[in-house]
Amino acid sequence: MELKKISEVKFEIEKGAVLGMNTGVTVYSTENMLHKIMQDRTLQQAANAATLPGLAGNVLVMPDGHEGYGFPVGGVAAFDAEDGIISPGMIGFDINCGIRVIKTNLVEKEIRDNAKKLADALFENVPSGVGSKRNTGIGERDLQKVAEEGVGFMIGRGFGRTDDPENLEEKGHMLGADFSKVSREAKARGLNQLGTLGAGNHFLEVQEVEKVFDEGIARAYGLHEGEVVVMVHTGSRGFGHQICSDYLRSLLTYQKEHGITLVDKELSYARIGSREASDYLAAMKCGVNYAFTNRQIITDSIRKSFEQVFGKSSDALGMDILYDVAHNIAKLEEHRVANSRRKVYVHRKGATRAFPKDMGEVPKKYRHIGQPVLIPGSMSTGSYILCGMEGSMSESFGSSCHGSGRVMSRHQALREIPSSKTFGVLKRKNVEIRIKTRKLVSEEAEWAYKSVDEVVGVVEKAGISRIVSRNVPLIVIKG
């Protein structure tokens, strides 16, 4: 597929490269990473998505892009709010998979001196692994409250502080959720998974702020070199996965009933305003609220683990939430498209909202600076905290990358990367690790991913986000 180079970090597939394309595809990448992107179906999937109706502007692929279900992970697409569509596969199975960062006033040496004890406490208090469960004492009526009201309900049950929602996207509560649109199977799967990490690429890391790149923004975020933060990556667990699966099945029937022919059935959709689209959005928002609440309960467990090890209250340890942001979601937003303001449903799949300063959706404390953008890397490299910049609104529908992006499938990584190789690297870097399944060490090895340094360098050069700090792992907790 032919790519036109627009700038050092921007390429375009022009409309017409694939029969039926309604718009072009913009790819943010270096030439080096572009070769990796072209090794799978990422660009083909993005071009396929460009054939869908109601698109507003180009389909986008972020530098961490790789092949996904129907639509690339690292993909962004906006559809007109009146005549566009909603596509569950373009949001993903793990609805509101996202990142939360919790600050502390501890320094690296304090963690090193207590690393084994703290790792043990976190591993015990935050269940992880495939199908991991936890008894939070809630029944189905409570689950409905979680799904429709978000984090506020569980904070009312003692799982957090009253000011925590101020530092969350959507304040941890996406309006319009309707529990009646969620299947019995999804409810059953979600009942005992709140407060759990799960497996795969989900993790909990205690990290040191190794380097600050922008002192002014870092100061506004309360980040300082040498201090310690905690990063959590997880989503809506089996609850969100089942919601996506249910609606993907139902939309296959919708396609037949409406005579819709797709270039890829994984891109099944419903028209905005249809009963099917409205039902999915109401269920998706339940998944969004569930995921915010999942990370909230985990936050409570993290705070209690630190209190247990350091003998101080989480307040005394400075354990405030920096921010929590989704990277698998569809949101109704207003953007400039072709010189006019339009309401669009922005589908972000493995892409993070990156709003700049003066946006009403950004928490008041950051509104003069811009939204924190939280970017994890692999467990033996590093992660980043970025800041949303004005360029994101003209370039990418207010979106940025969400991580480093895979270059190997899990099966390939298992075949080619012995777990001993990663364990050796972690030992040399003095990283304490607790993991349920040894094979994950191969599946999640740094060599299975692109360079997170190169990925964030692209979005900075594109004017989408600014690099604020680079954080390195001290403790890793995985499924």
Please give the structure tokens belonging to residue 185: 């199977």
Give the torsion through C-alpha atoms of 426, 432, 436, 439, to 10 deg: 0
Q: What are phi and psi of 372, to 5 degrees?
A: -60, 135
Contact 237, 297 (CB under 8 A): no
Q: Give the Cα separation of 20 and 271 in Å (integer).
A: 18
Could you tell me which of 162, 166, 238 has the C-alpha nearest to residue 199?
238
Q: What is the 3-state secondary structure (H, E, C) of the chain?
A: CCCEEEECCEEEECCCCCCCCCCCEEEECCHHHHHHHCCCCHHHHHHHHCCCCCECCCEEEEEEEECCCCCCEEEEEEEECCCCEECHHHCCCCCCCEEEEEEEEEEHHHHHHCHHHHHHHHHHHCCCCCCCCCCCCCCHHHHHHHHHHCHHHHHHCCCCCCCHHHHEHHHHCCCCCCHHHCCHHHHHHHCCCCCCCCCCCCEEEEEEEEEECCHHHHHHHCCCCCEEEEEEEECCHHHHHHHHHHHHHHHHHHHHHCCCCCCCHHHCCEECCCHHHHHHHHHHHHHHHHHHHHHHHHHHHHHHHHHHHHCCCCCCCCCCEEEEEECEEEEEEEEEECCEEEEEEEEEECCEECCECCCCCCCHHHCCCECEEEECCCCCCCEEEEEECCHHHHHCCCEECCCCCECCCHHHHHHHCCHHHHHHHHHHCCCEEEECCCHHHHHCCHHHECCHHHHHHHHHHCCCEEEEEEEEEEEEEEC
Has 402 been annotated as catalytic?
Answer: yes
The pair of three-digit structure tokens given for residue 282, joined into one six-digit string:
């109401």
User: Could you say which of 66, 335, 347, 402 is catalytic?
Assistant: 402
**CB of 306 closer than 8 Å to CB of 104:** yes
- Separation CA 46–CA 50 (nearest Å): 6
CA distance 458 to 462: 6
What amino acid positions are annotated as catalytic residues?
A: 402
